[in-house]
Amino acid sequence: MHSPISRRNMLQTSGALAATALGLSAAHASSSKTLKGNINQSVVHWCFKKYWDIDKTAQVASQLGIKSVELTPAENWKTLQKHGLTCAIASSHGFKVGFNNPDNWDQCIEILRKRIDECAAGGVKNVITFTGMRDGISDDEGAKNCVAGLKKIIGYAEKNNVNLCLEMLNSRDSSHPMKGHPGYQGDHTDYCIDIIKQVGSDRMKLLFDIYHVQIMDGDVIRRLHEHKDYIGHVHTAGNPGRGELDMKQEINYPPIMQALLDIGYQGFVGQEFIPTRDPYEGLKEAVILCDV
């Protein structure tokens, strides 16, 4: 026969359960202390900007064992340094205006030159760049123009030991202006890799966005191995929807992170998902998932 449960027993049991929960919570919160750290993780500021300012983002990154807050202006880099962080990659001219159209070259080069100067002064290693939108330009012509235009600035990047990272973006998702980019010319991995090879510089790299690659090309791990010599930066997000790296999406991130280690990738992996729930919890889960 079960003995009756006294109020004291209930309180003791509740207290024990609460203590256990607090212990688990504390262990989870301090996960940054026990991260393997084989993957250099970064957080992309624009995704979390509606929740946290740059100082709060840096605090969260530091708490979670993240080493970088990226795609944030140079005026914020001192704040990152205050928290022991870097900026893994700098923003530039935006994806709508790129090197596929010679009319945009002067604008893109001016912005990139300024950003390269800031990176050289601030110890930042990468700057993002884009092909731009098709706008009636054929793929062959767009690629030829990209090569010619990028060659006009790559020497300056070489001189300053800064990489230009050309990002491949998906053109399929039209549900949200940051989930997909219909009309973007560099919408296949091989197309961007061919441009990079023709530019012919060790400072010309690919921004391998796993989310975009999955949508347009798939076969992510094989592509990482094929293009290992050209990968300068990596981004994440769940597909479909560009949400958290959770069980509601299709990409299996741990083996992809392991593939990055297998190919000797030593750069950063930027968490670039759009939160659909508590941003801190989603980011913490992503960090732990990618820590292989």
Residues identified as active-site: 167, 272
Residue type, 93: H
What's the first-to-final CA gap in the chain, in angstroms?
50
Tokens coding 105: 């070259």
Q: Provide DSSP, 60-93.
A: HHHHHT--EEES--GGGHHHHHHTT-B-SSB--S
Sheet holding 231-236, edge to edge: 68-70, 40-44, 268-271, 231-236, 204-209, 163-167, 126-129
Tokens coding 151: 């060659």
DSSP structural state of residue 5: P
